[in-house]
Amino acid sequence: MALRTLITRKSPISTHLGFRGLQTFSLPDLPYDYGALEPAISGEIMQLHHQKHHQAYITNYNKALEQLDSAISKGDASTVVKLQSAIKFNGGGHVNHSIFWKNLAPVLEGGGEPPKASLGSAIDNHFGSLEALIQKMNAEGAALQGSGWVWLAVDKELKHLVVETTANQDPLVTKGPSLVPVIGIDVWEHAYYLQVFLSFSSYLNVSFLAQV
């Protein structure tokens, strides 16, 4: 299965507003039904996570972008600087969740299969085994103070896999421009507060991973 683009079939991910062509964003559709990952992740938490939390990042990101556009047009340097944290947080939330949905897939669509081919070999060579990688990512996630993300990434310069964490909604690029996300695990309570994940790895979309 080819890497799905972040632009969905049913709805545009961005909209142009204003005479200067300001680009704002809209909630991408999930590539599966909300209940398709049960029993590992309930449809209820998937719907809340997507429609409430991801949507909130997009709404606030768009608001900040519109304020930024206005501040730039007025030459208001102070407001431009002030908006950077909101743009990083909410824009990062949108970027991270857009990756997260595509890291998961129903079992009938390839979710839950251990990585094969080059990704499977790279995991074995670098971490010892898939089980060792899962344990490492679980440990790094548990050690995160507050909320954040745990990432399996490819370092394009060093040409090997790495495990990284980011705080809050910082996207992986904040840890280095050569890092390309493979898997992003959401360690925010809003990802599981209605239900403990029984087996996150059971629904990893390996066909997605293999194309990254």
Residues that bind Fe ion (CB under 5 A): 186, 188, 191
Residue with smaller CB distance to Fe ion, 50 or 68? 50
Residue with smaller CB distance to Fe ion, 48 or 212? 48
Distance between CA 203 and CA 210 in Å, rounded?
15
Question: Amino acid identity, residue 54?
Answer: H
Residue with smaller CB distance to Fe ion, 151 or 188? 188
Query: What is the CA 100 to chain-centroid distance, rounded?
Result: 4
Kindly state the smallest distance separating residue 187's Cβ from Fe ion, in Å.
Answer: 9
Residue with smaller CB distance to Fe ion, 25 or 188? 188
What one-character-per-residue DSSP string does 10-64 give?
A: SS-SEEEETTTTEEEE-PPPPSS-GGGGTTTS-HHHHHIIIIIIIHHHHHHHHHH
Kindly state the smallest distance separating residue 37's Cβ from Fe ion, in Å.
Answer: 14
Strand order in the sheet with 148-155: 160-167, 148-155, 179-186
Kindly state the smallest distance separating residue 150's Cβ from Fe ion, in Å.
Answer: 13
Kindly state the smallest distance separating residue 74's Cβ from Fe ion, in Å.
Answer: 34
Q: Which residue is nearest to Fe ion (CB)?
A: 186
